[in-house]
Structure 1
């Protein structure tokens, strides 16, 4: 494959503080800290799921107002662990969030900058993921978007239906899932693909249905107009 999923990028008002929240909540480690960008990753290098990178929001960026199209789901392996994860999130500065979910077994929370995430009840499909169960993307057509991202990430479609899911061929690490979404949402979180310099990654992605963004470089829109970027796989640095 010419591209692989390497990051969930988060646009943040305070990258260092938000990265610290997520590192402590997930039990991950800081792998890069240069002030305007902080990266965190699982301490287990065998987990192939994406790392998280927190980038400074541009000056004058609007406050978070509408739900993100992309959010994170956290795993738990017992009811007690679910309670402990929720308690820790609240202690670190998170908050409960009502998005109309009603009576559900998972807990919906917001991080200190208002980004939605869920702490799931124990589910057998998330055994082996580590703390991050899934990166979840809202989609008008989940199966169609999953097919594109399967090509983009090199991960096979492991679940298809109302909710479509991709999983690393190793069957370890977080899922990439696509769920029905009623309409547009905020794009403060986006996916980044790693590509080796000199490959024809851009041509391969556009052939699969991606559209180059008007600002050019290595910034694209997927078939449902979610922004994503290419980065150099070796260093995790933007290629433009």
Structure 2
């Protein structure tokens, strides 16, 4: 399996997708009324698609997954660029921190990060912070799920693509447990050719995850929650 998508719920997928495409310098894949996709390819590293799917109402609960953007020595310039694209400054009670917290056009928080050695070779997205009830446990789960490996010295328990390029997946100690509402952002992994979907489902359960059934009809992918309750999807292997 490998990590393929970062999926973001959007009232207006086209508007939000075009914003993030400009932020990361993505390559447009799909522009449809119900969904928008743009591709972030990190040279020598992972390829991640940012997928924006239509929802009827904006989310109300704080996100458990968000995007941290590379700022570094150009942090102020990057903040100004994002504000020009349609972001706004956001106060989430962060206090005096070296990162700058912004909101995208639909209110999703994102951070423009200060210079950190751990962010070398990440590309425009420095990290994908994910709330976790047990970061050590969940790091093992997501490492098995994606093939990403531990990043020593990153501060938070973090994983990275085996190339050691691209964003970090950071497991952040949660402030409150996962509620019943679906996360507004989630991750998708895709099966490799020959991997058995039922065997993967059994392995997810053995590692503390569980399969979810939303009653949305027959779909080609399957829905799961990680041990902390964060939703993710397992997509079928690519057609040969």
TM score, norm. by length of structure 2:
0.87
CA positional deviation for 1:224: 0.6
CA distance in 2, matches of 1:182, 1:121: 23
Residue 218 of structure 2: aligned partner? none
Could you tell me which residue of structure 2 aligns to residue 208 of structure 1? 207
2:189 aligned residue (193, 200, 203): 193
- The Cα of 1:230 is off from its aligned counterpart by 1.0
Residue 75 of structure 1 pairs with residue 63 of structure 2: no
Structure 1 residues 207 and 115: CA distance shift in structure 2, 3 A = same
Q: Which residue of 1 aligns with 2:228?
A: 224
> Which residue does 1:46 correspond to in 2?
44
Tell whether the 8 Å contact from 1:195 to 1:232 is kept in structure 2 after alignment: yes
From 15, 20, 23, the counterpart of 2:21: 23
Q: How many residues were matched structurally? A: 228
Q: Deviation of residue 90 (structure 1)?
A: 1.1
Matched, 1:177 2:170: yes
Evaluate the alpha carbon distance shift between residue 164 and residue 43 of structure 1 in structure 2; reply closer, same or farther with a 3 A threshold: closer
CA distance in 1, matches of 2:36, 2:184: 15
> 1:162/1:123 Cα in 2 relative to 1: closer, same or farther (>3 Å)?
closer
Report if aligned partners of 1:192, 1:230 keep a CA contact under 8 Å in 2: yes
Is the 2:195–2:237 Cα contact (8 Å) retained in structure 1?
no
After TM superposition, give the deviation of residue 203 of structure 1 in Å: 2.6
Of 69, 82, 86, 2:79 maps to 86
Q: Is residue 93 of structure 2 the alignment partner of residue 100 of structure 1? A: yes
Pick closer, same or farther for the CA change 1:102–1:157 going to 2, 3 Å: same
After TM superposition, which residue ranges in structure 1, 4 or more long, deviate above 4 angstroms?
Answer: none
CA RMSD, 1 decimal:
2.1
Instruction: Measure how far apart 1:43 and its partner are.
Output: 4.7
Between the aligned partners of 2:43 and 2:155, the Cα distance in structure 1 is: 32
Structure 1 range deviating more: 102-111 or 84-93? 84-93
Q: Can you give the 5+ residue segments of structure 1 that lack an aligned partner in the other structure?
A: 236-240
**Cα distance in 2, alignment partners of residues 159 and 136 from structure 1:** 16
Of 51, 57, 64 in structure 1, the residue corresponding to residue 59 of structure 2 is 64
Q: How far apart, in 2, do the equivalents of 1:94 and 1:215 lie?
A: 33
